[in-house]
Amino acid sequence: MLTIHGVTRSRASRVVWLCHELDLPFRQVPVIQAYRIGNADAPDAPPNTRSPDFLALSPAGAIPVIEDEGLVLSESLAITLHLARKHGGPAGPQDYAEDALMTQWSIYGATAIEPDALTILMLHNRGTLQSADDVGIVADAAERLVRPLKVLEDHLATHAYLVGGRFTVADLNLAEIVRYAQGHGALMEGFPAIRAWLSACQDRPAFQAMWAARMAEPE
């Protein structure tokens, strides 16, 4: 059985969501980020990204990591693309061209959107805007996101989904990245096609199953 190392309140959410889409059984080991606990090195600390056992599995000390029939794989996008290729079905690529396009969109999200979207998540969505500096940082991040989000918006204005006219792992990967900036209403207001697409992705039963598990975890 597939093993996912990482709590769902992390990029492991992408892997958990995909497993539900694929009806793929999995076992989840709730490795938590070391920065979220007081003393990650304490003998009674929960399994975390600085635990020796986890570092032996993943020297980078980052979640998620999977174990899949002897394969140990890290990096959430590499994991989701691997599982989609391996298990096929509508969520995975049907040919080499689709595989390339799914990889393209996933990498685009990770490089062009995710860094600034994460800034918004950390400083805006959680209501932690407490200084003029933070307000400026969020404003700059939102301004930088306009260009890459416009690329996504233009594509989705004429396509229901990113690749092949159906929901695929590319949509899943991008939806989880764009979600980080979803709470910035002023930014998202300018992208109606993205908002409609994101709503369709998040209405899926597999997303709802992942989200319920995520919300059941401690913050």
pLDDT per residue as tens digits for the range 90-111 = 999 999 999 999 999 999 999 9
Assigned fold of 2-87:
Glutaredoxin (3.40.30)
β-strand pairing of 2-5 with 26-29: parallel
**With bands split at pLDDT 50, 70 and 90, how would you rate the model's confidence at 128?**
low
How confident is the model at residue 88, as a pLDDT? Answer: 81
Amino acid identity for residue 128 in this structure: T
Q: Determine the average pLDDT of the residues in 198-211.
A: 98
% of the chain with per-residue pLDDT over 70: 97
> By the 8 A CB rule, do 217 and 7 touch?
yes
Amino acid identity for residue 202 in this structure: Q
Round the average pLDDT of the chain to a whole number and report it.
95
How confident is the model at residue 44, as a pLDDT? Answer: 93
Residue 138 pLDDT greater than 80, yes or no = yes
> By the 8 A CB rule, do 106 and 142 touch?
no
**With bands split at pLDDT 50, 70 and 90, how would you rate the model's confidence at 68?**
very high
- Strand-pairing partners, residue 4, are 28, 66
**With bands split at pLDDT 50, 70 and 90, how would you rate the model's confidence at 126?**
low
Residue 89 pLDDT greater than 70, yes or no = yes
Which tops the pLDDT comparison, 174 or 136? 174
Q: How far apart are CA 2 and CA 71, in angstroms?
A: 10
**Structure pTM?**
0.95
> Under CATH, which number does the domain 96-207 receive?
1.20.1050.10
Domain spans of the chain?
2-87, 96-207
Residue 130 pLDDT greater than 70, yes or no = no
